[in-house]
Amino acid sequence: MLYQPFVVTGILDEIIADKVSYVNTTTIANLLNAKLQFSTYGTGLIGISFYFIVTAPEDIIHHEYTRYSSKERELHLQLRLPYETVLHASREEVLLMMVHTYLNGLKTYLPKKKIQDFDTATFLRDVERLFAGQGWIARGVDSTAG
């Protein structure tokens, strides 16, 4: 069970960890938890955990994956950010990469899970509007990270 409805965290090489976590991860998570409630969209989903993997290319241990648990009604996403790009980017630039990857990850994988009793389209629209309201993305633009 998630410790809060929206969990955003990382699997990170220590050299770049501070660019991703915990300032940026908590910024995204705090915004989502403050502005969105899963119950607004139905009962099929009560939590999303999102892990940003930012590890050097020689990492053979950590991989991307997505999983929806109908029993726990939680979606787990583990997606990678390009390591070299993060290494040479500022924390603010990394935040924008994280936001784009987060939004695109949801747009890509959430509809595929075909979650019962959950208005996926409206939820995704609201997440996008929330990020656009922060100036992190241009509203209506399907941006990709990196």
Partner 1 sequence: MHNIIAPRPISRPSPPKLQPTPQGPKKFLLFLLICGIFGLFAYWRGMDEVIIGDDGALVLSPERQDELDRRIYRLDNAEQYVLIAMYDGHYPCYNCGPDTLKIFLFAGETWKYGVTIQGQKGRYSTKKLNGMGLDYRVQLRSNIHNCLKAEAKMIFHYPLMPENIKRLRPINRPPGNKNDL
Within 10 angstroms of residue 101's Cβ, the number of other Cβ atoms is 21
CA-to-CA distance for 3 and 23, rounded, in angstroms?
Answer: 18
Pick between residue 49 and residue 101 the one whose CB is nearest to partner 1. 49
Q: For residue 20, is it left (φ>0), alpha (ψ between -120 and 50) or beta?
A: alpha
User: What tokens appear for 49 in the block?
Assistant: 């955990």
By C-beta, is 15 or 121 nearer to partner 1?
15
Reply yes or no: is the peptide bond before residue 22 cis, omega within 30 of 0.
Answer: yes
* Shorter beta-carbon distance to partner 1: residue 59 or 119: 59
- Window 12-51: contact mask with partner 1 (x via CB under 8 A): xxx--x---xx--xx----------------------x-x
Q: Which stretch binds partner 1 (CB under 8 A): 9-17, 91-99, 112-120, 127-135?
A: 9-17
Query: Which one, 25 or 101, has the nearer CB to partner 1?
Result: 25
Least distance CB 65 / partner 1 (angstroms): 9
Do the beta carbons of residue 25 and residue 52 sit within 8 Å?
yes
**Residue that the structure tokens 């922060």 belong to:** 134
Give the one residue of 24, 31, 70, 76 binding partner 1; rule: CB under 8 A: 76
The Cα 113–Cα 120 span in angstroms is: 10
Residues that bind partner 1 (CB under 8 A): 1-4, 7, 9-14, 17, 21-22, 25-26, 49, 51, 55-56, 58-61, 74, 76, 78
